[in-house]
Amino acid sequence: MKNKFIFLASLFVLAWTLFADDKKVEVINFKLENNILSNDFQVASKALDENVKENDLKSICVSLRSPFFQIRVRAAKSLQKHNLSALVNELITAYENNQVEYTGGSEIEVMQKELDDEVFKTLEIFTGIPRKAKDSDSILSYKDWLNKNSPKKE
């Protein structure tokens, strides 16, 4: 009976430790995402700078969802030097998220095009597939590449 109690107590302590660690990670991730996706340009820019300096690719990918085009463009550019095919899906998503109508006229269209250009440059570096005349054809090629080169789930 005593051994059962010790075992259960140990199991409880282990579970509590794992739960507490998981909560710490959630709090850290929450803070990071709030800084990275902040509506304050300076905060978001500083978060991206820190993540680039630390080569935190996951956090840089979060910057691809920033409300600021300039942050998204810088995030895409910073990923180019890593050449990690695992980021292809993030880049495809960044492109697809950029294909909406924004108000603001030609200035916004220029920023959208700049982001698309950087995303496509990075995708070309990662996959070796050049950008096609139609962006939709390019995305289909990159998705096909991703399907062929992603690890198979068993």
pLDDT digits (tens, 9 = 90+) for 106-129: 888 899 999 999 999 999 998 999
What pLDDT shows up at residue 80?
85
Asked whether residue 30 is domain-assigned, the answer is no
* Mean pLDDT of the 88-97 span: 91
Work out the pLDDT band at 152, boundaries 50, 70, 90. low
**Nearest residue to 48 via CA among 32, 60, 64:** 60
Say how many domains are in the chain: 1
Is the residue at 42 inside a domain? Answer: yes
User: 118 lies in a domain?
Assistant: yes
Average pLDDT over residues 68-80: 91
The yes-or-no verdict on residue 148 having pLDDT over 70 is yes
- DSSP assignment, residue 81? T
Determine, yes or no, domain membership for 29. Answer: no
Which pLDDT band, with edges at 50, 70 and 90, does 105 fall under?
Answer: confident
Whether residue 3 lies inside any domain: the answer is: no
Amino acid 57: pLDDT: 87
Residue 69 lies in a domain: yes
Reply yes or no on whether the pLDDT at 70 is more than 90: yes
Burial 84-120 (b: 16+ CB within 10 A, else e): eeebbebbbebbeebeeeeeeeeeeeebbeebbebbb
> Does residue 7 lie in a domain region?
no
What's the average model confidence in pLDDT over 6-22?
A: 48
- pLDDT tier, 30 (very low <50, low <70, confident <90, very high otherwise): low
Structure token digits, residue 88: 């292809």
pLDDT (0 to 100) of residue 91: 92
Domain limits for position 46: 37-149
Q: Would you say residue 48 lies in a domain?
A: yes
What is the pLDDT of the chain when averaged over all its residues?
80
Q: What is the DSSP letter of 70?
A: H
Residue pLDDT, tens place only, 37-54: 999 999 999 999 999 998
Distance CA 122, CA 78 (A): 9
